Amino acid sequence: MAVASKSSAIYYSTRVSTQSEIRKAQPENGPARPFAYVAQSRIPLMPQGYVLSPDDRWLTMPLKDAGTTNIWALPTDGGPARQLTDFGHRPILIARQVSWSPDGKFVYAAVVETDADIVLLDGMLR
C-alpha cells in the first residue's frame, strides 16, 4: 500500500483472478477505483509494494521481466507504465523496497545478481 501525501490519495492492490489490481482512492477515505492491472506472474515472490515519488507523480514498483526484475513507474495522473531500469538478461532481484531521493530525481534499489549451480553432495549421509 502507498499513501500520497499531497493529493490525499491511497493506492493498494487486490488480486483479481490472474491479475493484481491496483486501486486508487482519492481522497483516501473516498471510493476506490481501478488504477492499473499487473499480471500475477510479474510480481516478485517477495513483493516490496509500491512507492510514491516525493511529488506524488509516480508510483514505482519492481516487476519481473522474464528472468530478471526491473523497476517500473506508473504516472499517478494516468497513462502507460514506464520502465526505469533495463537489466537485460542478467538474473537480478530487487532485495528491498525501492526508494526515492528527497528531491525526486533519483530512484534507489538494493539489487542482487543471482546465479544457480547444481552441486552433488555425495557421501553426506552414512
60 band by pLDDT with thresholds 50, 70 and 90: very high
Residue 121 in domain: no
Nearest to 103 by CA among 57, 48, 35, 55: 55
Residue 126 in domain: no
Residue 119 in domain: no
Which CATH number goes with the domain that contains 62? 2.120.10.30
Does this model's pTM top 0.85? My answer is: no
Residue 122 in domain: no
4 band by pLDDT with thresholds 50, 70 and 90: low
Which residue type does 13 have? S
Residue 17 in domain: yes
Boundaries of domain holding 12 = 2-113
67-108 pLDDT tens trace? 899 999 999 988 999 999 999 989 988 888 889 999 999 999
40: phi then psi, degrees, rounded to nearest 5: -55, -35
Q: How far apart are CA 72 and CA 77, in angstroms?
A: 15
Residue 118 in domain: no
46 or 41, greater pLDDT: 41
2 or 63, greater pLDDT: 63
Q: How far apart are CA 11 and CA 3, in angstroms?
A: 6
Q: Is the pLDDT of residue 47 over 70?
A: no
* Helix, strand, coil percentages, rounded to 5, for the chain: 0, 45, 55
> What pLDDT is recorded for position 16?
66
